[in-house]
């Protein structure tokens, strides 16, 4: 899991703790946590893409990754990894290109000085949708 800015770490721990699924939180040294909640953590360099690179190099087919990074999601999908956003969106091959195109167009607009409102605030509804989608995804593989 891309733990640097993930707002659903608590939900991941709550959902995966009762079942025998190993969770791995990957974060940069710049985001070291004091309370590691008894979970498995890997800390990597603080360089811009170090977390993404670690995840890309260690994720294998059938793993589940939680990230809001569209580029990382695209790379992981190609490896057969299930990718879930913190807002509960399960990325798939059919829709990832549209997400990449939108990311490109937004970046291009920002370079031209056009700034949108940015992402909407993370809500309780997002948190609940994430928990439901993660539980649903795990139930397909772990009898959860």
Q: How far apart are CA 84 and CA 73, in angstroms?
A: 8
CATH 3.40.50 assigned to domain 9-142? The reply is: yes
Please report the beta strands in 1-144, taking only residues with DSSP state E, as ranges in sequence order.
24-28, 40-44, 64-66, 82-84, 90-91
Bridge partners of residue 7, in order along the sequence: none
* DSSP three-state, residue 128: helix
Region 119-134 average pLDDT: 92
- Tell me which of 28-32, 33-37, 91-95 is least confident: 33-37
43: part of which helix (H) or strand (E)?
strand 40-44
> What's residue 142's pLDDT?
58
Residue 71 has pLDDT above 80, yes or no: yes
Region 28-42 average pLDDT: 73
The whole-model pTM stands at 0.81
Judging by beta carbons within 10 Å of its beta carbon (0-12, 13-18, 19+), is residue 48 exposed, middle or buried?
A: exposed
> What's residue 144's pLDDT?
47
């Amino acid at each position: 899991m891309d733990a640097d800015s993930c707002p659903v770490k608590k939900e991941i721990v709550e959902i995966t703790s009762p079942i025998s699924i190993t969770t791995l939180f990957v974060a940069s040294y710049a985001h070291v946590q004091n309370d590691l909640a008894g979970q498995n953590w890997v800390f990597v360099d603080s360089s811009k893409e170090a977390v993404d690179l670690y995840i890309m190099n260690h994720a294998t087919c059938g793993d589940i990754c939680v990230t809001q990074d569209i580029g990382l999601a695209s790379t992981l999908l190609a490896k057969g990894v299930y990718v879930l956003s913190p807002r509960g969106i399960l990325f798939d091959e059919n829709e990832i290109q549209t997400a990449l195109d939108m990311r490109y167009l937004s970046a291009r607009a920002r370079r031209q000085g056009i700034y949108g409102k940015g992402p909407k605030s993370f809500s309780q509804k997002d948190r609940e949708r994430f928990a439901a989608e993660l539980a649903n995804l795990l139930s397909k593989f772990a009898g959860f």
